[in-house]
A = this chain, B = another copy of it.
Amino acid sequence: MGLPRADCPHKGSPMTNDLFLRACSGESISRPPVWMMRQAGRYMAEYRALRAQHSILEMIKDPELAAEVTLQPIKAFPLDAAIIFADILTLLEPMGLQLEFISGKGPVFHNPIRDAADVAALKPIDPRRDLGFTLDAIQLTRERLAGQVPLIGFSGAPYTLACYAIEGGGSKDFDQVRAWMYAHPKIWTDLMDKLTEGVTDYLLAQIASGAQAVHLFDSWAVSMSQADYRRQVAPWTRRIFETLAREAPDVPRIHFSANGGHLLEAIAEMPVDVLGLDWRVDAKAAIQKLGTHRVYQGNLDPARMLASDEAVIEGAREVKQAFSGAKAHIFNLGHGIIKTTPTDRVRLLIEEVRKA
């Protein structure tokens, strides 16, 4: 713990607000730091104005625009962390999958993985060459933040990447992916190996570019039973965290899986610093099961933000209370902020969290 992590391992301005990093380290702090998943996004007029002129991929691939979008919520609200504007799926493009965001439908891959030959054809990535736009955006954002708050980097986890790569887009439960996994256990292993290598290299490059914490989003792990998660997913997620723990021990590692309450025990066995909890997870019960010695992130129901000021305040108090038994708590929504969330409620929530 000793030195605040704020100015290590990266060069850069000393941190004005290092509450988030101290919470990640498990330090006892006066109040939970607060940020929100998808905080750079459609609920902000500033974002929609840019989005009207550019596609999502254009915004991600232009470091100037990505840095600007990343900073929009930081300028508007007293948040305790920034998260780089990027997408969990961009990694798959340089591996050979043709990604397109289709309005009203979400991400679509035009050449999904079908067989062993498709997996064999996946290319290893060179983060600088292939995803330099996000690395540059991280560097630019760090410069502009000038130590105001820390910057979080992220990637989709191998299983979630596999879901999109095999399904070719979104799905309710990704049944076809599990069917493919059960039918082709050896090809599954090869695919997960390749994705794991890509995610690891990408996150290490983000850290080298200035990311002060890394967030792994396994958005679709919810589609797995715990037994299958332990067999078919966890070994690869663990490998990523182990490599990061070895190569960048001072950079906190955060995990989040939407509605992944049934997987938390398996996730908690990995070298992860912060366990993100979905809004459906009973925080008190999770802390009791997984231990008070851990750092937790979450988990206000984002739907409360649409309801009323009272619903936000009541929910924020319940969440703070529920996590009060843990070593440290990072306040967040229990899922991404909903695009119709009024910005006044964002301000109200942050004020409520900041109250002692």
When distances are taken between beta carbons in the complex, the residues of chain B under 8 Å from A311 are: 182-183
When distances are taken between beta carbons in the complex, the residues of chain B under 8 Å from A224 are: 280
When distances are taken between beta carbons in the complex, the residues of chain B under 8 Å from A179 are: 303-307
- Given A262-B261, A282-B225; A173-B335 close (CB under 8 Å): yes
| Contact code string A326-350 (vs B, CB < 8 Å = 1, else 0) | 0000000011001000000000000
Nearest opposing residue in chain B for A183, CB measure: B307
- Asked if A43 CB lies within 8 Å of chain B CBs, one says no
CA distance A187 to B302 in the complex (A): 21
- Asked if A281 CB lies within 8 Å of chain B CBs, one says yes
CA distance A306 to B166 in the complex (A): 15
A1 CB to closest chain B CB (Å) equals 33
Q: How many chain copies does the complex carry? A: 2
Residues on A close to B: CB < 8 A?
Answer: 172-173, 175-183, 222-228, 259, 261-262, 279-282, 285, 301-308, 311, 315, 318, 334-335, 338
When distances are taken between beta carbons in the complex, the residues of chain B under 8 Å from A304 are: 178-179, 182
CA distance A222 to B258 in the complex (A): 12
Contact B262 A280 (CB under 8 A): yes
Per DSSP, chain A at the interface is helix
A41 CB to closest chain B CB (Å) equals 15
Interface centre among A177, A180, A228, A334 (most CB of B within 10 A): A228
Nearest opposing residue in chain B for A223, CB measure: B280
A266 CB to closest chain B CB (Å) equals 10
Q: A175-B338, A228-B301, A261-B262 known; 17 other A-B pairs, CB under 8 Å?
A: A176-B303, A176-B306, A178-B304, A179-B304, A179-B306, A179-B307, A182-B306, A182-B307, A182-B308, A183-B307, A222-B280, A225-B281, A225-B282, A225-B301, A225-B334, A262-B281, A262-B282
A189 CB to closest chain B CB (Å) equals 15
CA distance A308 to B181 in the complex (A): 10
When distances are taken between beta carbons in the complex, the residues of chain B under 8 Å from A306 are: 175-176, 179, 182-183
CA distance A55 to B335 in the complex (A): 37
Contact A301 B178 (CB under 8 A): yes
- Given A308-B183, A318-B227; A259-B222 close (CB under 8 Å): yes
CA distance A335 to B308 in the complex (A): 35
A148 CB to closest chain B CB (Å) equals 31
CA distance A338 to B182 in the complex (A): 15
